[in-house]
Amino acid sequence: MRLSIVTTLYRSANFIQEFHRRAMAAAEQITDDIELVFVNDGSPDTSLDLAVTLHQQDPRVVVVDLSRNFGHHRAMMAGLAEATGDVVFLIDSDLEEDPEHLLPFYHEMQKADCDVVYGVQEKRKGTWMEIASGNLFYWLLRKLGGVNIPRNLTTTRIMSRRYVRELIRHREREIVISALWVLTGFRQIPFSVKRNERKQVTNYGLMVKLRLTIDFVTSFSSNLLYYVFYAGLLISGVSFLAMIYFVTKFATTGQILAGWTSLIASIWMFGGAAMLLLGLIGIYVGRIFEETKQRPYVIIRDIFRAENPQGKSIGAFLEGSGTQSGVARSS
């Protein structure tokens, strides 16, 4: 059995060496046939240099250098495409989650005879704002999205090769990987994990979570369009009933509602509703525009790999079968 460990690098220079040491120590308790795939997502610090140095010292280390910063989710997909293992362990390199989770995850996978064991937080950590925004994020996903993403899901997961092979066949350019994890299917088992204290400032602030929510809803569901339609129908119905009331009141009593205040309030209400609807339609049209161009979701500048790799990468396997992927490699 070959084991692949996949992680991404962005401002990760302070963690790479410790992550490498601990991840390899855990993996060696399972098998001697190991690779550790670092994906440099355009990190502005010395992450790439440190990773390449580790590759030179340890041929089991593979470094995938992206041509620029493409984002966490796309970088993870690129790393999974380059993995060659029969079993693939995905984890962030910031040490918020222990690399030693590999061992219980692997044993749970063998015990349950499943394709995926994924981590869920025992208790959500962070400031009250981070906790509140996280709760809002999952609430919106449940209400608006068409995919049931597990609550407090973490990056850490162990996957079979056949699951990863099907996962990276998804070709959309606007990637919300947590939704793709669910959509890929197969038998998936949750595993409770405890996260360590944050070692750096999170890249997932309130605005990023809001953007992810919008990306998720507009990429995986049309529910929001229906909700806006229902809201417009409700407003139209209420306005029609109000019109009947005012006309009836004028006909019976001769009283007319003061015009300026009601007129301005109506203009703001209907103007805001129209702008919301147009903006929502614009987002969906923008999604269609991006997808029809069929641009690669990542471009790989260079790959540092041992001259005689032990296996064929999952992305290369798909290319050999004639299946297109969203990963482009520079020549």
Using pLDDT thresholds of 50, 70 and 90, give the confidence band for residue 285: confident
Place of tokens 């309130």: 206
Contacts of 96 (CB under 8 A, 6+ apart): 195, 196, 197, 198, 199
The β-bridge relationship of strands 61-66 and 298-304 is: antiparallel
In angstroms, the Cα distances linking 218 to 61, 199, 221 are 37, 33, 6
Assess whether pLDDT exceeds 70 at residue 16. Answer: yes
Assess whether pLDDT exceeds 90 at residue 88. Answer: yes
pLDDT score of 247: 73
pLDDT score of 104: 96
Instruction: Say how far residue 227 (Cα) sits from the centre of its chain.
Output: 24
Of 253 and 133, which is predicted with more confidence?
253
Assess whether pLDDT exceeds 90 at residue 194. Answer: no
Of 27 and 149, which is predicted with more confidence?
27
Q: Are 170 and 121 in contact (CB under 8 A)?
A: no
**Rounded mean pLDDT, 268-274:** 71
**Rounded mean pLDDT, 309-322:** 66
Average pLDDT, the chain: 81
HEC sequence for 5-72? EEEEECCCCCCHHHHHHHHHHHHCCCCCCEEEEEEECCCCCCHHHHHHHHHHHCCCEEEEEECCCCCH
Q: What percent of the chain has pLDDT over 90?
A: 44
**Rounded mean pLDDT, 184-212:** 74
Rounded CA gap, 216 and 4, in Å? 28
Assess whether pLDDT exceeds 70 at residue 61. Answer: yes
pLDDT tens-digit map of 105-127: 999 999 999 999 999 987 766 56
pLDDT score of 106: 97
